[in-house]
Amino acid sequence: MSAKLIDGKAIAASVRAKVKEQVAEFTTRTGVRPGLAVILVGEDPASQVYVRNKGKASAEAGFLSRQIDLPVSTSERELLDLVERLDADDTVHGILVQLPLPAHIDEKKIIEAIDPAKDVDGFHPVNAGRLFTGGTSFLPCTPYGILTMLDHENVELKGKHAVVVGRSNIVGKPAAMLLLSRHATVTICHSRTQDLPSVVRSGDVVVAAVGRAEMIRGSWIKPGAVVIDVGMNRNAAGKLCGDVAFEEAREAAGAITPVPGGVGPMTIAMLLQNTYEAAVRRSAGGRR
């Protein structure tokens, strides 16, 4: 039996349409247009594509979209000064610094300079901390997108075993916390995990965020499991693929996300959602 395909493109389109509608209503009511500033340092081609797509999507949603391109020679001090100016700018509700930054700039320092109330990427330690302790935070866009997809598909998480492969601060760890907040029993795997295939085989829900083309094989998937593939890799033939061997895994899984067209489109949709929420909170008088 072949798994149900979870159509991230369609789910993302519906999130974006809803944000657009809410933005129009918010702007009419308050006279405020949510503003998103995206900073790109250097000329990394992949980052240029991501930034362009984010700018396009935010303009389509009705935001005041601002892209700031800086040369690779920009100093850490100059970038910090810019972030501080944007923190103080009332027309900017969301600030996103595209990662990775050039090696001479300390990413942590830059992220920590962003006002947590404008941290629409959800990477600031205040937002990461609130995800761990509860309370209102901005959720990192990719894990937020994963949860939104699972909700859209009515996947029951309570009491289920969720296996997250990968423990990065931007995907694996926050995804695990979100699944835990929905009462899943969560296992986090990484490069030192022993007998990864049998751990993955015990997962009712599997989130793969590794960055290794088709590493997770079909024989690792528990029959009927829900498989969310975050990976964005090139296989030997140069084709875009995920961390899961899709054709094999879809034979065992109950539902699965494709790559492309799965988690990827959700990430931008949730960035828009976060920026809209930032503007709403700011207009309600919320600060940090």
**Nearest Cα to Cα of residue 44 among 110, 109, 98, 114:** 98
The tokens of 252 are what?
């065992």
- For ligand NDP, the closer CB: 105 or 165: 165
Binding region for ligand NDP (CB under 6 A) out of 81-89, 110-118, 129-137, 231-239: 231-239
Per CB under 6 A, 196 contacts ligand NDP: yes
**Nearest Cα to Cα of residue 256 among 144, 132, 150, 140:** 150
* Pairing of the two strands 240-241 and 233-234: antiparallel
Binding region for ligand NDP (CB under 6 A) out of 35-43, 52-60, 115-123, 170-178: 170-178
**Nearest Cα to Cα of residue 170 among 144, 190, 133, 134:** 144
Distance of CA 64 to the CA centre of its chain: 21
- For ligand NDP, the closer CB: 35 or 231: 231
CB 61 within 8 A of CB 120: no
Size of the site for ligand NDP (CB under 6 A): 25
Looking at residue 241, what DSSP letter applies? Answer: E
Q: Which 139-158 positions form the footprint of ligand NDP (CB under 6 A)?
A: 142
> Mask 76-115, x = binds ligand NDP (CB under 6 A)?
----------------------------------------
Per CB under 6 A, 235 contacts ligand NDP: no
Residues annotated as catalytic (active site), given as ranges: 54, 98, 121
Binding region for ligand NDP (CB under 6 A) out of 13-21, 59-67, 77-85, 189-197: 189-197
Per CB under 6 A, 244 contacts ligand NDP: no
Give the whole-angstrom CA distance, residue 219 versus residue 222: 8
The tokens of 111 are what?
């992220």
Per CB under 6 A, 203 contacts ligand NDP: no
CB 115 within 8 A of CB 87: yes
Q: Which residue from 211, 240, 248, 251 is in contact with ligand NDP, where contact means CB under 6 A?
A: 211
Per CB under 6 A, 213 contacts ligand NDP: no
CB 131 within 8 A of CB 177: yes
- For ligand NDP, the closer CB: 74 or 275: 275
Residue 240, CA distances (Å) to 47, 53, 102, 103 in order: 16, 18, 25, 27
Q: Which residue from 150, 165, 221, 227 is in contact with ligand NDP, where contact means CB under 6 A?
A: 165
Chain position carrying tokens 């960055």: 211
- For ligand NDP, the closer CB: 191 or 219: 191
Per CB under 6 A, 232 contacts ligand NDP: yes
Run of H or E including 69: strand 64-70
Judged by the rule CB under 6 A, the positions of this chain that interact with ligand NDP are 142, 165-168, 170-172, 189-193, 196, 209-212, 230-233, 263-264, 267
